[in-house]
Structure 1
Amino acid sequence: MEMKQLIAMVTVAEAGSVTYAAQMLHIVQPAVTRQIKTLEDELGVVLFDRTRHGMVLTSAGEVFLSHARRALQELERARTELTPQTGEITGPVSVGVLESLLDVIVPPLASSVAARFPGVELRVMSGFSGYLQNWLDDGVVDIAVLYNLADTPAMRVKPLLSERLWAVAPADAGLVPTEDVTWHRVLSRALILPIVGHGLRTLIDRARSDIPIEPKISLETNSMSVQKQMVLAGRGWTILPGAGVARDVEEGKFSAAPLAEPSLSRSVVVGLQRATRISRAVRAVNSELFRVSRDLVNSGTWPSATLLDTPTH
């Protein structure tokens, strides 16, 4: 088994096509096909179903993909660590971030890392908390910003902050971030909510369980973007973390206010793999993540947030 075979397999899985994978790898298509076939022969399993719509991972392919990704990341980490050390911190660092936190944390983090650690190759992926946890376990990301999660056998978790959830309404509803809005008022409106089983939906259902008003749900979705679009379309109000909507409120797209009676908050945490050796680059970005978050909270840029713990390394 060769490294180029693993690279070909991962690239085809991500591109969904041998043609696109060949373009991304800057090699000819038959070479990619040959590497995949050789790998399948060596493993004794079929990794992809060849369909009209492209290359689709088989169940065996899904299993092997996570191991291939981890192997490639470990090799990249080893290459970086074995490179003669200079004073500069270098190497790739992948950070998984909740969709609702992208706008508030990624721009300042990227700017800060670029300024302080120009040799670090920062990569950002977004997804739901469950996906981020799986990606961290599988080595797809080095750091994950998740919520409401404790230590696991594979992950070390550090609390970052607690942030309140907001009711989000059309601009003419008159909600303001400095004045709480009650659940009774929110539940009197049609609501666009996350799907059942989504972490945010679980928090919402738990918080409203003692209020004798059944919500009028106009739409359920697993996308924060769709929640916002449906509010803009006049389909109802929604509930989101303040960080996910603060910029939109400033721009006048929505009105929004923290929920009260009862107040509803979620804990944001930062996860690192427990079993792997943490590179200098990952430690640097992790430290920078906490520093940037502290500055965002203290400046009021991260709305309705309270720091829980801010380790420096």
Structure 2
Amino acid sequence: MIHQSVEHNNLELGKQLFQSMPDRDVVSWNSMIGGFARIGQYQEALTWFHEMEFSGVSPNALTLLSTLSACASHGALDTGAWIHAYVDKNDMNRDGSLDSSLIDMYSKCGDIDKAVQIFEESTRRDLFTWTSIVCGLAMHGRGEKALHYFSKMKEAQVQPDDVTMVGVLSACAHAGLLDQGWWYFQSMEKVFGLVPKVEHYGGMVDLLGRMGCLKEAYDLIMGMPMEANEIIWGAFLSACRVHNNVELGEVAARRLLGLVPRDPWARVMLSNMYAEEAKWDRSMGLRKEIKKKGLKKSPGCSSIEVNGSVHGFLVGDNSHPCYTEINSMVEKIEKLMRL
């Protein structure tokens, strides 16, 4: 019943059923931890994992998979490293089934060198392990090394999937490898048997945009077999902003506003482009429109992990229980920096 409640996103009922149980085994704990991780409540998933520790119930492989996923998505490196140590101490990864999750966790938490180390020591180099290291390296801007591992993946005769190819195109974008990126994109279907999806078109738009090939990027978008989403038009608008192509920027902004009319970001970007071209009337017109419609950008967010707990901070937010102490320390640091 707990599993069914969690599967249908009724976590409150799941909590009530769990708390009413006289004996809570690893299966019931896994249902709760996995449920919170699945719906994106990663901090809650980690909290339940710590409670499971204190209860004396030992985690199994499924528990660790769910918790590592939560650590990766939440940036909880300390907790992820503790889980890794727990796995090694209890010899829970003999078959290498946790390798891809560990690589993914370390990559997303910022320790790409540790991710590479785990891959090199892995005896189970399947599709998921290869994909994790390729995407991890691409995420960290190490495009050429990611492509090196992709070449070794092909030598090992492991067939890539859609996710692998997203990582490959991202690697080409970070390394500035335009011709190679085009080749991989155009060969997806005939060489790897994969039909390019919207994510792959997005990767090519990003690559073309970074290289300043805005006309080619626009032609690619207009020739897509599916409708371009806000991510693709947003990437294209960003490229237009970087290379200050107002004409195509206007097109991208119109398309983006058609998809997300209440998002002020497109207006801000276009306003900045107008300002650089000294088109002050148009620039101020967009700023006034933002103010008139009461549009607000999503506040910037950062986070830090302290003693296994991840603390998030939003711009302008003073709700943190240690706000006064944090603000006082920031002021002290600013004074020291002025000396």
Shorter-normalised TM-score: what interval? under 0.3
Which structure has the greater CA radius of gyration? 2
User: What TM-score do the two structures reach when normalised by structure 1?
Assistant: 0.26
Which one has a larger percent helix, Structure 1 or Structure 2? 2
| Larger relative contact order (CA 8 Å, sep ≥ 6) | 1
Select the structure that is richer in strand. Answer: 1
